Amino acid sequence: MKNKMKAMIFAAGLGTRLKPLTNSTPKALVKIHGKPMLEWTILRLKQFNVREIIINVHHFSDQVIDFLQSKNNFGIHIEISHEQELLDTGGGLKKAAWFFSDADTVLLHNCDVLSTIDLNKMYEQHIKSNADATLAVRTRKTNRYLLFDTSNKLVGWKSKKEQKTIWVNKPVINSRELSFCGIHIISVNFLEYLSNQIKIPIIEEYLRLANMFNIYAFNSNEYDWLDLGRKESINLATDILDSSYFLDLEKFYS
């Protein structure tokens, strides 16, 4: 990666879908293949040469901080953004924006996502397409979809459960329904235009700003992907991602 990239890991969630595992443990420290999901996420970012990360915390935040200290921050620069109240992804990013003042691009990664997505390819597409934001997406059945036109540009959002569709402009007949993967890259200047609202989801911001900025899809169908925010996914982790995946990540401890 040629220009300076920093990363943010979203780890402040309550993990309500993982109860009772999160009754006394933050979601970020729930173990997958013997280690906390936050640990795998940090090693994954190190695998792609990211060496400066900020992590937002809220639920049992002291446990997350103690864990990072016990690991000596995995030998990289890690900052903490403590949220006294949950700010959602957009609000959390806005609060942490100071950390990216000397960066060119920002990699955003949910702590409860594991994947084999090639972040280098995603970054290369981001640069080549002159994108302001690049969202990893895939074809998957879910309740909510992002809508993209034939040029892979964000044009809307749909909730099947609520039977509701939001368009950036007018309806696009041939739009594709794709599921967001919780991994995205933004250019740092995008941060200046985030809403001043304290709590806001980042997807709402993408929809609001899609008229002003180039927001594109990165199709991740060829890669493995797992949302660890659900209990059933934890049991599937070693089925979808074989032991070699975790062994490869363990090489990045030093």
What gap in Å lies between CA 23 and CA 39, rounded to an integer?
Answer: 20
Range of 53's domain? 5-250
Residue with token string 């569709």: 165
pTM of the model: 0.95
User: pLDDT digit of tens for each residue in the chain (254 aa)?
Assistant: 447 899 999 999 888 888 888 899 999 999 999 999 999 999 999 999 999 999 999 989 999 999 999 999 999 999 999 999 999 999 999 999 999 999 999 999 999 999 999 999 999 999 999 999 999 999 999 999 999 999 999 999 999 989 999 999 999 999 999 999 999 999 999 999 999 999 999 999 999 999 999 999 999 999 999 998 887 788 788 788 888 999 999 999 86
CATH label of the domain that carries residue 222 = 3.90.550.10
Torsion angle of C-alpha atoms 37, 41, 43, 46, degrees rounded to 10: -170
What gap in Å lies between CA 65 and CA 69, rounded to an integer?
Answer: 6
What gap in Å lies between CA 100 and CA 188, rounded to an integer?
Answer: 7
Q: How many domains does the chain have?
A: 1
Angular region, 95: left φ>0, alpha ψ -120 to 50, beta rest: alpha
Residue with token string 């935040």: 61
What gap in Å lies between CA 61 and CA 40, rounded to an integer?
Answer: 18
